[in-house]
Structure 1
């Protein structure tokens, strides 16, 4: 089996665009904790082990609780998430599935301004892209260090 390219070594020019989006999102009005939850949930859906490792470490280092991370795949059945987080998670699942029903849009609009919803969608599409890059060009799962990519 041929060794796959290391996207972080060979893809710096292309990946720079994704890092630029991440820089924009850090300056947006979205809470880092919310983006961390969305990144983790989307990575669960996409079965991206590298991103799950990365985002669990980042979220825990930022003060997220293990209980909320462990319960994330069953967020609808748990009392651990705020209405805003629930709207974001439903939006993330719908956008990831490329099927956004009107009721999910309506709920998201009760929690997010137009600009915030656009930024949230950008965050979701970005983590979906990262997941696909890491699935196509696997990295050493477990090797991520908190803050490694800024």
Structure 2
């Protein structure tokens, strides 16, 4: 660990990030879907602390093990709904910044504008957590 987690070191930072997640939760996005997105993005970004944390939350929520363990290969398994797959595609592209019209329209076919905003908040927030944790080499567990 290079430094203590920035959200614990900077007054108000933790509350701000938690408020962002709370705001996303008011948009009608399914909580399990939000956690699956957090896990998928964390795997993409190599954030061990977040992979560990979101896997635990998904298991505690009773999400099927196969949905948790197959998330990296979501395109090739039958465990996810079309809406979930559209959300994962959006999460992957947004993590790389640019979202194609095809992917955006695919998500828009399943989610309304408020839910799309919620998805983007979830994706943005987990990317921020990942970058802070990976960049400062936060420990897992």
Q: Which residue of 2 aligns with 1:59?
A: 58
- 1:136, CA displacement in angstroms? 2.0
Q: Which residue of 2 aligns with 1:96?
A: 95
**2:136, 2:34 → 1: CA distance?**
24
1:1-150 matches, cutoff 5 A: 3-141=2-140, 143=141
Relative to the length of structure 1, the TM-score reads 0.88
Structure 1 ranges of 4+ moved more than 4 A:
none
**1:117, 1:108 → 2: CA distance?**
8
After superposition, what is the alpha-carbon deviation per residue over 1:36-89, rounded to whole angstroms, capped at 9, x for unaligned? 110000001000000000000001100112211111111000001001100100
- 1:22, CA displacement in angstroms? 1.1
**2:2, 2:71 → 1: CA distance?**
33
Relative to the length of structure 2, the TM-score reads 0.93
**2:120, 2:45 → 1: CA distance?**
16
- 1:31, CA displacement in angstroms? 0.6
Q: Which has the higher contact order (CA 8 A, sep 6+)?
A: 2
Q: Which runs of 5+ in 1 are unaligned?
A: 144-150
